[in-house]
């Protein structure tokens, strides 16, 4: 098989896994992407969510996917980065799908303080 065949197979598996993820009730909406590698990447929204809501969304998905949560990092500008990685095999997906959950929590702007 060609490399492209493997890449498409991995993307199809991620697509199927995402379909199963979105069937779960009670989880907050996040942005999902499927890169060429076939990994699934969830980004918690920073524009319409408060920092507490971002943390709650991140934690909910990390729990649901039994993700390995990394220690949070704070950048020099005060942005807090949350990251967790997961491996998941669902009911309909024959392949293990890997992925990550990310959140960037920005400090308040000057006019928000």
Q: For 33-80, how does the pLDDT look when each residue is reduced to its tens digit (9 = 90+)?
A: 999 888 999 999 988 889 999 999 999 999 999 999 999 999 999 999
Over 60: is that where the pLDDT of 113 sits? no
pLDDT value of position 57:
97
Q: What percent of the chain is modeled with pLDDT above 70?
A: 94
Q: Choose among 64, 55, 53, 2: nearest CA to 27.
A: 64
How far is 56 from 91, CA to CA, in rounded Å? 26
Over 60: is that where the pLDDT of 86 sits? yes
Output the pTM of the full model.
0.88
CA–CA distance from 39 to each of 5, 60, 91, 101 (Å)? 15, 19, 18, 11
């Amino acid at each position: 098989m060609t490399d492209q065949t493997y890449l498409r197979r991995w993307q199809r598996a991620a697509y199927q896994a995402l379909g199963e993820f979105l069937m779960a009730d009670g989880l907050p909406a996040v942005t999902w992407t499927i890169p060429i590698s076939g990994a699934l990447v969830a980004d918690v929204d920073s524009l319409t969510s408060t920092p507490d809501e971002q943390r709650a969304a991140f934690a909910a998905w990390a729990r649901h996917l039994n993700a390995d949560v990394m220690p949070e990092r704070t950048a020099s500008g005060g942005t807090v980065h949350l990251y967790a990685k997961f491996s998941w095999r669902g009911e309909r997906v024959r392949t293990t799908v890997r992925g990550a959950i990310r959140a960037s929590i920005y400090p308040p702007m000057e006019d928000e303080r």
